[in-house]
Amino acid sequence: MNFLLRSITSLLLTGPLLGDGTEINQDTLEKLKLPGIRINLEAKAVDVTSTITLVEGSLEFIACTKGTKEHEAIIAVEAKPSHIHTALLLLGAKAGHPAIRKIVGEGDDQHWIDLPPKGSGVTVSLVIPNKDNKPIELPLSDFVHRLDDAGEPDKDETRKRLKVFLFAGSHLIGQDDTPKTYLADQSGSVISLSTFGDELLCLPQIYGHENHALRWEVNPTHLPKIGTQVLLRIKPIKSNLSPKK
């Protein structure tokens, strides 16, 4: 995985070409082996096959991998988070890091500080079937409530906070002499609302996940029933690729 990410990053430094000099176009991208993922050049987005898993209750995630955190996420994906990471790199997104706790200072002045997450900005939407079973794309804020201090949905605050996510990129872990593991592949943390420190995508701020801090809830107004297949669409705000004409 570490080799794969380094290779993809080096490709982007030389422009929209694959390693053998092939120009990146939709036909070429279809040949990449990223199960459950389509790199959509027309939309300049990564489309991930997903399933609705929750239509009511509190949320700590937007998306998780199948068999992990479906009780607190709207959708589950079968694709590996590391593969979604690779697809975003191909569209020109730049990975950063999730929120980090770090020791600074020396001696008696040593203390922990929280570093906010970093990464290039992306927008997130869901492509769902409408009443005529035709696909429509809706912003994430149509499916989530941010509660105010009185416990009531705050639509303006929801739209504001969910406008942009960061491509944090989780972490590669392991010893120097052993194969590295992509942490989100283990944890299932694809898109988080609370801060866990292992997520692929996250909000720009740090959000605690203690019970008193949970202020995100499902908005079921537009959600299809549990088990419905939908598309998770992740779109880098800036992309270095254009559809080939």
244 within domain boundaries? no
- Contacts of 191 by beta carbon, 8 Å cutoff, 6+ apart: 61, 62, 63, 124, 165, 199, 200, 201, 202, 232
CA-based end-to-end distance of the chain: 32
245 within domain boundaries? no
Q: What percent of the chain has pLDDT over 90?
A: 60
Distance from C-alpha of 118 to C-alpha of 204, rounded to nearest angstrom = 7
Domain span including residue 154? 2-236
243 within domain boundaries? no
126 within domain boundaries? yes
- What pLDDT is stored for residue 104 in this prediction? 63
Specify the pTM.
Answer: 0.83
Q: What percent of the chain has pLDDT over 70?
A: 77
- What pLDDT is stored for residue 241 in this prediction? 52
Lowest mean pLDDT among 11-20, 36-45, 196-205, 233-242: 11-20
11 within domain boundaries? yes
Give the number of domains in the chain: 1
Tell me the range of 109-123, 133-147, 205-219 where mean pLDDT is highest: 133-147
22 within domain boundaries? yes
39 within domain boundaries? yes
- What pLDDT is stored for residue 11 in this prediction? 40
Q: What is the mean pLDDT of residues 22-51?
A: 82
- What pLDDT is stored for residue 176 in this prediction? 74
241 within domain boundaries? no
- Which residue did the predictor score with more confidence, 168 or 114? 168
